[in-house]
Amino acid sequence: MAVGKTFVDVFIDADWQGPARTIRIRIGDVVQYYRTQAASMSGCRTLGGIVGDWRPVDMTARQCLEHFKRANVKALRREARKAGLVPRF
């Protein structure tokens, strides 16, 4: 898994959407996930092109959020405020 200050590359196995691939999750993707999808506890969710059951998608979002908190908290806070969220970290 490749990581940077503004992205995390996540490897996805072959599934109904296509062959195995790597998807780049950016800070904005994580912010939008928490703004629009993290409130419900069931169903299908989307994170930066990953579509699936809420459990693995939520776990991936949490791991990305933790990485961005360590790697680039200023940009994470800025993006969260732009989306109307109040960062508590």
Can you tell me the distance from the alpha carbon of 13 to that of 69, in angstroms, rounded to the nearest whole number? 27
Domain ranges of the chain: 7-82
What secondary structure does DSSP assign to the chain, as a single string?
--B-SSEEEEEE-SBTTBSSEEEEEEHHHHHHHHHHTTT-SSSEEEETTEEEEHHHHHHHHHHHHHHHHHH-HHHHHHHHHHTT-----
Determine the pLDDT at residue 39.
Answer: 84
Determine the pLDDT at residue 18.
Answer: 84
Using one digit for the tens of pLDDT, what is the confidence trace for 13-27? Answer: 888 778 999 999 999
Higher pLDDT, 43 or 67: 67
